[in-house]
A and B are shown apart, each in its own frame.
Chain A
Amino acid sequence: MKKYFRELSVAAALGILLLALGIFAPSFFQPQPLLSLVTREAPTLVVACGMALVIICRQIDISVGSMFAVCSVCAGLLAAMHWPLALVLAASVLIGAVFGAFNGALVAGLGLPSIVVTLATMVTWREGLRWLRQGVWVDLPNDVQWFGLPQMAGQWTLVLVALTILILLALAMKHFSVGRFIYAVGSDAEAARLAGIRPRLLTFGVFVFMGALTGLAAMMNTIQSPQVDPNSGTGLELKTIAAVVVGGVAISGGRGTLWGVFAGLLLLACISPALTHLHVEAFWGKVIQGAIILLAVVADGLRTRKQRN
């Protein structure tokens, strides 16, 4: 109970929000719009899982939004060339992994600070994509949307894929040695090295994995609509970092769980539709999102302050 206090308190906040919606705006709980909302957030959840690993490893990746856009456009172009979807998916994941490997090589290989490296790659990939594509949308063939499944089935597939990844990763982080290694490197890379872990290799791997997950998420996003937006993924990095932080992962690494990230993401994702249902102007969504982030860290700060005294 005490161990998962942070995760539970975010889940409680989410519960209260849903309860309030149930009382004041029951229209929020119509199954179809709710399913659409969850489907829209499914790719974000996949990216947020990767981001959680990166942050637990005491790094950060703010280039995910740009990687997401590049992977989306590449996947769209390949799909438009009538590649089989399985191959497109593999290509998208691979492209993401290559971009991730680039970040990883600079961070783990050269020892450059991840925030600056990914800031640079964020700008570079985004502008490069704009240059090459000039902002043209990619039209997809008809059978690509929802993998050619009926919409309902497609939506459920995406949600289940995202949840499977979440559950597998959460279990792996707790029970597999690789997961424990990531926590160890995040807490203290030097101590981890002395304990026989190879922090640089692991960090490189985490960045590659982050890229691969971003590629997967891009594919999950691409098949949701008949066209690919070349500007997709703008602000994705901040959205996922916010979810990770609200979910109780320490930005200084080594602490936090994916369950918390899941609760944090749901909480943040519910806000703007909730506002619509409560007839509040949608512009307040950003304010509330900022306030939730601050509230979450202030709560953390007050708790550690108490422990210090």
Chain B
Amino acid sequence: MNTDKHGLKKNLLRHETILFVVLVAEWLFFDVIGHNFGTYDNTCDILRHYCEIGLLALAMTPIILTGGIDLSVASLLGLCAILFGKFWRDAGMPIPLAAACTIGVGALAGGLNATLISWLRLPPLIVTLGTYSLFRGLAEAITHGVDTFTDFPNSFLFLGQERWLGIPAQAFVFIIATIFFWLLVHRTTFGRSFRAIGFSPEGAHYAGIPLGRRVAMVYVLAGVVSAIAAIIYTARLGQAKADAGTGYELFAITAVVLGGTSIFGGVGSIHGTLLGVAAIAVLHSGIAHAVLPGEMAGMLTGLLLILALAGSILPKMISGLRARKSAPRLAKQIP
């Protein structure tokens, strides 16, 4: 790994550049064939609709950087949306207090994942598969599958449906979150330690990085961000239901991997994730505007993902063949 560190860096840069080109091409393509695609209003719409997925993808990036994964974020979004409604309607809390409590619950739920993964050293894939089922199940059990929360005050719905200073109000939350995560991953020792853990947990341990605490941190952060996304989701739709955000975890993971973050950890960036989210969002919105079948968006996302992966691995394969070392080996499974 260390021999081609320079090449790796170049590769990374190239991946993001290619993705950026793809994004621009997508935009121009849909602008030409779609109706009202490139307008300012539609841009705001895209921002509005993909804000929650974007938030989840931001929180997912440090997790995948450490070599982990979190399947439970979208289920937690559903649970938090329900609890937010419960706090506000049934417990009679004012909106800000209810929001604060919801974020507290999100942190606790993230803490559950974190405890199991970092303290007991259980595989993240399985732990979060369990909590994926657990959180969604709790949301359904609390609402008995039918109860929804509506009639939120207009001052709250502003967050999800109106514009402030000309851009959708929730975009401000997204921008703040982006800056936070960018600084965390790229400008602090935390970010470096996430990468170190992703490269080699053993090595990171011997380098004096408190493994448990760092790993716990990324999962708790994901819990908090899921709760924030839940509040925004509720404000955007004006209602909270137990099935809120179903399938968002796949979107978020796809966006992160598309953005060039290695699923094995150690490599990746926040700006890559942003591009990944944008590529998916533009694809979905563009296909809807071009009156193409909506299923195409999903199919193309899947194909794009495979192509991105194959593209990232091809240079390595070619150099491997040139070096005539051993045959390409199987990718390791997520620990």
Contacts and interface: CB of A to CB of B under 8 A. Distances in A.
A203 B301 CA distance: 26
Given A111-B331, A131-B296, A297-B126, A120 B313 contact: no
A115 B327 CA distance: 22
A22 interface: no
Contact of A287 (B138, B303, B313, B333): B138
Interface string A223-255: 000000000000000100110010000011100
A38 B328 CA distance: 43
A124 B299 contact: yes
A112 B333 contact: no
A99 to B, nearest CB: 13
B145 A283 contact: yes
B129 A238 contact: yes
B116 A298 contact: yes
B190 interface: no
Interface stretch (A89-97, A159-167, A175-183, A288-296): A288-296
Nearest to B312: A112
For the residues of A in contact with B, the DSSP-based class is helix
Given A127-B295, A287-B137, A116 B328 contact: no
A251 B136 contact: no
A284 B138 CA distance: 7
B63 interface: no
Contacts of B301: 120, 123
Interface in A268-287: 281, 283-287
B129 A287 contact: no
A120 B303 contact: yes
Contacts, number: 175
B309 A112 contact: yes
B298 A107 contact: no
Contact of A252 (B123, B129, B309, B313): B123
Interface string B286-308: 00000001011111011101100
B1 to A, nearest CB: 15
A123 B298 contact: yes
Contact of A112 (B69, B302, B313): B313
A123 B145 CA distance: 26
B299 A110 contact: no
A108 B310 CA distance: 13
Contacts of A287: 133-134, 137-138, 141
Interface of B: 69, 116, 120-123, 125-127, 129-138, 140-141, 144-145, 250, 253-254, 257, 263-264, 293, 295-299, 301-303, 305-306, 309-310, 313, 317, 327-335
Given A120-B306, A238-B133, A298-B120, 20 more contacts: A58-B330, A60-B333, A106-B310, A111-B313, A111-B331, A123-B254, A124-B299, A124-B303, A127-B297, A127-B302, A131-B299, A199-B330, A238-B132, A242-B129, A252-B123, A252-B335, A286-B137, A290-B133, A293-B129, A294-B116
Q: List 8 A-B pairs, minimum CB-CB distance, nearest first.
A: A286-B137, A290-B134, A127-B298, A124-B302, A290-B133, A301-B120, A287-B137, A293-B130
7 contacts: A106-B306, A111-B329, A111-B331, A123-B298, A200-B327, A290-B134, A297-B116
